Amino acid sequence: MSEVPPVPPAPVTTVDEAIARMQAIAAELPPSDGVACFNRMYLDVTLQVNAELDNGFYADRAFMTELDVNFANLYFDAVNKGDDVKAVPRAWQPLFERRADPNIEEIQFALAGMNAHINHDLPVAVVTACAGLSTAPADGSHYADFQKVDQLLDTAEQSVRQSFESGPELAVDHHLQAVDNLVACWSINSARDVAWRNSLVLWTLRPDPAASALFLDGLAAATALASRLLLTAV
């Protein structure tokens, strides 16, 4: 008798559930796994975002909660399909293909995951959140709240970079210098700026499903290309 494939976990509906799912992923994966490297960074940021939801940091708590939940579910969808790389969303495929490569540094995995999640998934999450709340990206405080997350992400990115760059061996190890030069070309804040603009484009294209699909297909291809560059073994 053939084994029945496991049923993928249902999408999360709260930020607390998203955090619990990330903690479960962390417990299941070895620390050196490429997806685990990204998951650690994403979990840290999500914990910070969640801590700010109830203290008035965001003008529109409902929007930020909806955005965070939709955003996380796009990552969980990739993880759920991770055993079959061809089934993984195109933007995520480079990370899942190379996740066990010992020649790639942890910071490369972390930033490649951020690249996939921000450049491709974030515009989709913004549009999905707005549609679910009957609002639009340009309404109210959405953009201002979106920008506030940049502060948290910038801190997380710098922490990851510093953990890699602080060792004295960097000054004499040509391999580490090459990796440092490679990842220095990518910025979370710049990616989020582009993601917001792409969310406006995607929102405008909503009445035309064919145009939306073409736009997202091109975005996925460009995102995957950037991830492959970030995951270059040097």
Domain annotation covers residue 126: yes
The type of residue at 59 is A
Token duo for residue 96: 């899942």
Domain annotation covers residue 7: no
Taking the C-alpha atoms of residue 144 and residue 167, their distance in angstroms, rounded to an integer, is 37
Question: What is the pTM (predicted TM-score) of this model?
Answer: 0.88
Q: What is the pLDDT along the chain (234 residues), one digit of tens a residue?
A: 445 456 678 899 999 999 999 999 999 999 999 999 999 989 988 998 888 888 889 999 999 999 999 999 999 999 999 999 999 999 999 999 999 999 998 889 999 999 999 999 999 999 999 999 999 999 999 999 999 888 777 776 666 666 655 554 444 454 555 555 555 556 777 889 999 999 999 999 999 999 999 999 999 999 999 999 999 887
Q: How many domains does the chain have?
A: 1
Give me the domain span that covers residue 217: 15-230
Domain annotation covers residue 1: no
Domain annotation covers residue 25: yes
* 234: nearest Cα among 187, 159, 173: 173
Cβ count near 89 (within 10 Å): 20
